[in-house]
Amino acid sequence: MPRSPRVRAGDGGASPSSARRAWLSQLKEEMVRQLPPTASPAVRARLRSDVEHALRHHRPDDPALELQDILATLVAETRHHLNEVEHEVRRSERKAELLALARQSLAAALDACPSHLVGAPSSHTRTHTARTVWADLRPILEKTLSGAESEDVVGQRVDEHVAQWRRAQHRWWRPRLPAPVQVVKSIETATVIVDAVNKTPALRQLADLVTQEVLTRLRQRRPSNEPPPPSP
């Protein structure tokens, strides 16, 4: 550990304050040289400031081991911060690669879906479907991916999202059967209407006319090899 020379009063040497500044400057530069070459000027300047602040109450003639512990701690903390920043940069770059891979996996997953759900390949419907599903999937991946996942894990998450989307689409396409209460109510309503028609001659006559007209049109449209429709 460099020490400033002891200066006696009146010997014409440098003052104690000047000697301390020279000693402190030498320490700061020695600590900065222990950083990796990739350290930015801002990081080097911050380390110089930390060294000066940590040694503000110390002098060159303080115990060398105490000074070494302080300086070693400052350098270790700075290097740890640099490693974290570098690791975060690598994870961000890897995360962007995984998002691009996820979009490619989405296109492959949609190819395995029925055409009536996603549209034909290269069609406008397929493009619109891919954009819609990706708009839902991308925020989820951006929130959950850390950049440390493997490609297989990302592909599995894409497949799970597409499968969930397909189930939702099938529920939308599949007709829903009415509840038993609704069926009973509809039958009761239809019974009331039929009774009203049968009890009202004008309505009964109108119903007969409509029925005859429907039968006539069905006979005109049916092929010659089909039997005629039954009478009501």
The more confident residue out of 214 and 58 is 58
Question: In the structure encoding, which two tokens stand for residue 104, read together?
Answer: 């490619």
CA angle (130, 135, 138) in 5-degree steps: 105
52 vs 46: CA distance, rounded Å: 10
Question: Tokens 């894990």 identify what position?
Answer: 153
Q: What average pLDDT does the segment 21-35 reach?
A: 92
Provide the pLDDT for residue 9.
Answer: 43
Is pLDDT of 118 > 60?
yes
Q: Distance of CA 54 to CAs 8, 18, 24, 46, 66, Å?
A: 27, 19, 11, 12, 12
Residue 219 and residue 229 in contact, taking contact as beta carbons nearer than 8 Å: yes
> pLDDT by residue (tens digit) across 155-168?
999 999 999 998 88
Is pLDDT of 205 > 90?
no
Give the DSSP letter of residue 149.
-
37 vs 143: CA distance, rounded Å: 34
Mean pLDDT score of the chain = 83
> pLDDT by residue (tens digit) across 57-106?
899 888 989 999 999 999 999 999 999 988 888 888 999 999 999 999 99
Provide the pLDDT for residue 231.
Answer: 57
